[in-house]
Homo-oligomer: A and B are copies of this chain.
Amino acid sequence: MRIALDAHGGDVGLARNISAAIETIDDPTLEVVLVGHQLQIEVELKRRSVAAGTFEILHAEEQIGMGDAAVQSIRRKSDNSITRAMELVKDGSVDAVVSAGHSGAVVAAALMTLGRLRGVSRPGLGTKIPTREQVAFCLDIGAVIDPKPEVMLQWGYLGACYSESVLGIRNPTVALLSNGEEASKGDALTRAARELFETASFNFVGYVEGRDMLHRPPHVTVTDGFTGNIALKTAEGTASYMASIIRRELTSSLKNKLLAALLRPTFRRMREQMDFEGIGGAPLLGVNGVVIVAHGHSTAKALVNAMRNAQHAAEVQLPKLLHNALPDDTKVSADPEPLVAEVTSS
């Protein structure tokens, strides 16, 4: 499998992406194509004593900054690394794209270059959630801010298919994120979506509350991109806030420092169990290709995980499976609305 890696994606940028690529060198099943500024990439590879020719490099003159406007920057900077990576997928010379760049720009570039799968109204961005008991997946986390209920129904099918084919869950449970478990709960959008979900052929189990997203989550949680983005970032923020309290308390005295040192392996295991960044990136479901958006803070390990995830999705031919998973009566033939006006930028 050949994966295009956006060499400039993420808060750290080039160095970290190169580190991730280097970690895959010994894997004969995975070939990384580095997309970005050729000279800069070559300098960085040389600095790491990587032989010329180890990686294929596709030059892109421009880069999208994390603060750029998503759609506009993709349109204006036509020779940017994200769009160039998408073009490689489109012409079939790679099997998937991974980028830790500006997520709104990645979504916009995917929509503009690859387009949607036939029948999909609005592709959704999903992510695994770190939970103990089971693999949990949630979408949309920010690609579509004010979706229609019909769009959310499609996400139910796409999420269930992803969960089954990539995450290996048989007959995954699907729920809608809401403010309570009773059917009377939900805002107007969620209640309308629930009516559609009740008639779906996937395993719909009703509403899930924010509290249970980590404790006893359904396999797939569907929500609009506004709520999903806020829920995910609130969970991340709470986890990192708690981690900062723990860090501060455990370094507050010499005694605590010593005890903490003895507990180091334990704390490492804890961190791994609540790692929102190392879970393999966020697949964009519903575009015509395999696209994984990695977290801007991704470590090299997280980027490697995202590439493995992309490789796996490409192996099972995810886009084809997703298209087949949508029942005909949920497919749309054309969508009159502007496609990329509402994609998010973070």
Q: Which residues of A contact B (CB under 8 A)?
A: 69, 131-132, 142, 145-146, 177-180, 182, 184-188, 190, 209-215, 224-227, 229-242, 244-246, 249-250, 252, 255-256, 259, 262-263, 266, 269-270, 273-274, 344-346
Contacts and interface: CB of A to CB of B under 8 A. Distances in A.
Contacts of A240: 211, 215
B215 A237 contact: yes
A346 B240 CA distance: 27
Contacts of A69: 184
Of A177, A210, A236, chain B has the most CB atoms within 10 Å of the CB of A210
List 3 tightest A-B contacts by C-beta distance, closest first.
A210-B233, A210-B234, A211-B237
Contacts of A225: 179
Nearest to A276: B238
Given A230-B230, A256-B263, A179 B213 contact: no
A266 B241 contact: no
In the complex, the count of this chain's copies comes to: 2
B259 A180 contact: no
Contacts of A179: 142, 145, 225-226, 229-230, 233, 344, 346
Given A178-B230, A226-B227, A245-B273, 5 more contacts: A179-B230, A180-B345, A180-B346, A187-B224, A250-B266
14 contacts: A69-B184, A132-B241, A146-B188, A177-B230, A179-B344, A180-B346, A184-B345, A190-B226, A213-B234, A215-B237, A242-B274, A249-B270, A252-B266, A259-B259
